[in-house]
Amino acid sequence: MRSVPRESLSVSRLSASDTRRGCSGARLLSSAHPNIAPARSAPTDANDSAGTCGKVPNVLESLIGTILSQNTTSKNSTAAKRGLDQKLGRNNFAAIAQAPKADVVDAIRTGGLANKKAGVIQKILQEVKKRHGVYSLQHLAGVLDPDAKGKAKASGDVVSDEEAMKELVSYDGVGPKTASCVLLFCLGRASFPVDTHVFRLSKLLGWVPTKADRITAQAHLDLKVPNELKYGLHVLMVAHGRRCSGCKGGNRGKGDCVLKMWLKEHRGVKDEELPELVLKAEEAA
């Protein structure tokens, strides 16, 4: 488990003075990517179960899908989730937990780091069963399994964002970013996950302190980004990070990019300074 360091919670000491004002960049990103829906919709069972952004109503499935998405592409993680569902059954958590590890590894091999991820997933499932008596984390969504025990909440009780985050990161292999994805996409909470794209672009725009790493950047942005913008801004930044070559270090910052326009207009950055800024942001991420 990698939890948020105590010092990162006092992010006011790290404040980047105009992060909130900088969120006006959401409008630019929305105009650049009009096919990306910046509004949240509730997850349903009709959602593609193989999608690994975590947008499914089952909390444990969301957590597993998000783990599969770590350090790989969306295409590969989706293939891994589909392989797991086909081999052991969608949400057949008992089968996944009790299967030989080699079977789980084989099922998710296309996602990369299969041996590590299989071990993490099986250990989480075993720990969930040990703590709560069932393979379920639905108490985090205010839903109680009739066989639940231990610290699982009573049906209908509201679990705070802080309580949900605390439980999720208490499982080995679940860091703040993974937990934040579950909060945002599955539980519908106002949380702001910082992945490689969000971190790189936040560094480029100066929205986070210079020395911030991903964990402190997430703690900082989670406080500074207005709740009503968190979902839309996150999905737009991820989409932009994947699609735009104009603000990537590998392209030395060449090409058009709405964020570079923002830097020139709002930060007074000169054209000749942009390539270095882009490279520094890429290196930091």
Could you say which of 177, 203, 224, 230 is catalytic? Answer: 177
**177 noted as active-site residue:** yes
Report how far residue 194's alpha carbon sits from residue 179's, in angstroms, rounded to the nearest whole number. Answer: 11
What six digits make up the tokens of 103?
């079977």
What six digits make up the tokens of 231?
């979902």
Under 8 Å CB-to-CB from 139, ≥6 apart: which residues? 132, 145, 148, 152, 153, 157, 159
Report how far residue 154's alpha carbon sits from residue 55's, in angstroms, rounded to the nearest whole number. Answer: 24
Cβ atoms 217, 208 nearer than 8 A: yes
As annotated, the active-site residues are 177
